Amino acid sequence: MNTEQVLDIEHRLMSPGVSQETQLADVVFERGEGSYLFDIEGRSYLDFGAGIFTQNVGHNHPHVVNEVKQQVDKLWNVHDGSTEARAKACVALHKHLPDELSRVAFFTTGAEAVEAAIRAVFSGAPPQKQKLAALRYGFHGKTQGARSLVHWDIGYSNESGNSVLGYAANCYRCPLGRTYPSCDMQCAQLVNRHISSKPNIAALFFEPVQGAAGVIVPPQEYWSMITQVCKDNGVLLVADEVVSAGGRTGRFLASQHYGIEPDLVVGAKGLSSGFPFSMLAGTEALMGQGEFAGAGATSSTFGGNPMSCTAAYATLEVLDNEQVLESVEAKGKRLGGGLRDLMHEHEVIGDVRGIGLLWALEFVSCRKNKTPAPDIAAQFYQACMKAGVRVCLGGNIVRIGPPLNVSDADIDKALAVFDQCLQTIAS
């Protein structure tokens, strides 16, 4: 089939709610290799979205391909059964996870693992603690339980019914109208006031660095302030690291940057090179309590299947064997520095922020008023695709996150394309 034929079928037969990126790009992808994607017509694209932050070691890494190919000849699924692949995934994760998080359970999507985290919390929560808490603009998935933690207008927000504890530290658009550092971290203080005044909260679900909201990287003290008050008030810490687990921010978990000691951690995207795999890691006490320790509590049809587990342990082996995490900070500085240079040149960029290899450009039509400009962001996205660089688009924000083993040369190449595209859309 050619591009037109594929798109014609998809437009006629698929439900229309595909991503904005898909709606705006008439591209049919065929294969990937390292930091590059290739479309069905043979055009190449530097993938600075790494799938959707899934391809931490790039597309089709030879070691992952090799392990998956061997597994494909052996066994694909046997309901929740013990396999060597699953045992290897356990070991590979334990090598990187904090010692306290000694138990893992495997699922297929981020939302499914968030749901499992909710079940784990409630299986031991005392009767007076029956509420979950989350931060405004956090994203935790689109299933019903996960949606109950999402308090903003992406997707359907009408299911959100639980406590909202306040704000992440979005310093560019401070919801309290303050400026860092003279603000005294009022956003964190507000969260803490809620936590200490509401005895019914069992757990706080949070992204250490909010991803979908546009890479909101809090100042260092934000999390130390909040986590201490949670601990003092018996509120469990559930870190949703669906985007960040696996080294996206430069440490295996983003929590490690902030000294957060979560009771539960959810990971998914970057752990398995694009195969459907997610994990819930937790303390012995939490994972082994009440109903959550009962037969079948963590099993599902595809959870922990040997294909996904193989992709996961092989991906983590690449991280180790090629010392991928060691260079993320330096590469992030190169990318972030380049993006900040672009901000000096181009008025339409209102803010540049990021950590490790997770970055965001926020597009505005007026810098002074910070007027969001989703139309300019969409133009930028389309221009980049035309010029052969793929980024992730959401509203007026473009997120940029190449594979963690991207070369310096490809970072420079992408930055040059961004510059060119910004010039084109300005003219």
Going from the C-alpha of 425 to that of each of 17, 192, 364, 370, the distances in angstroms are 27, 44, 13, 19
- Which residue has the closest beta carbon to ligand PLP? 110
- Shorter beta-carbon distance to ligand PLP: residue 223 or 418: 223
User: Which C-beta is closer to ligand PLP: that of 186 or that of 278?
Assistant: 278
Task: Identify the residue among 97, 101, 105, 114 touching ligand PLP (CB under 6 A).
Answer: 114
Range in contact with ligand PLP (rule: CB under 6 A) among 103-111, 249-257, 323-331, 351-359: 103-111
What residues are paired with 394 via a beta bridge?
397
Q: Which of 47, 67, 115, 207 binds ligand PLP (CB under 6 A)?
A: 207
Residue 149 binds ligand PLP (CB under 6 A) = no
Residues 221-250 that bind ligand PLP (CB under 6 A): 240, 242-243
Cα–Cα distance measured from residue 152 to residue 141, given in angstroms and rounded to the nearest whole number: 12
- The answer to whether residue 150 forms part of the interface with ligand PLP (CB under 6 A) is no
**Which positions from 254 through 273 interact with ligand PLP, judged by CB under 6 A?**
268
Sign of CA dihedral 180, 209, 372, 332: positive
Pairing of strands 278-282, 36-39: unpaired
Residue 324 interacting with ligand PLP (CB under 6 A): no
Mask for 59-88, x = binds ligand PLP (CB under 6 A)? ------------------------------
For position 392 contacting ligand PLP by CB under 6 A, the verdict is no
Query: From the centroid of its chain, how far is CA 406?
Result: 18
Binding residues for ligand PLP, total number by CB under 6 A: 14
Among 40-48, 62-70, 135-143, 332-340, which window interacts with ligand PLP (CB under 6 A)?
135-143
Closest by CA position to 278, among listed 114, 61, 139: 114
CA dist., res. 64 & res. 50, Å (int): 16
| Minimum gap (Å) between residue 269 Cβ and ligand PLP | 7
Contact status: 308 vs ligand PLP (CB under 6 A):
no
> Closer to ligand PLP at the Cβ: 238 or 342?
238
C-beta of 243 vs 352, nearer to ligand PLP:
243
Length, in residues, of the chain: 427
Q: Is 145 in the site for ligand PLP (CB under 6 A)?
A: no
Which member of 211, 246, 354, 403 binds ligand PLP (CB under 6 A)? 211
As a whole number of angstroms, the distance between CA 336 and CA 259 comes to: 23
Does 49 interact with ligand PLP (rule: CB under 6 A)?
no
Q: Which residues bind ligand PLP (CB under 6 A)?
A: 109-111, 114, 139-141, 207, 211-212, 240, 242-243, 268
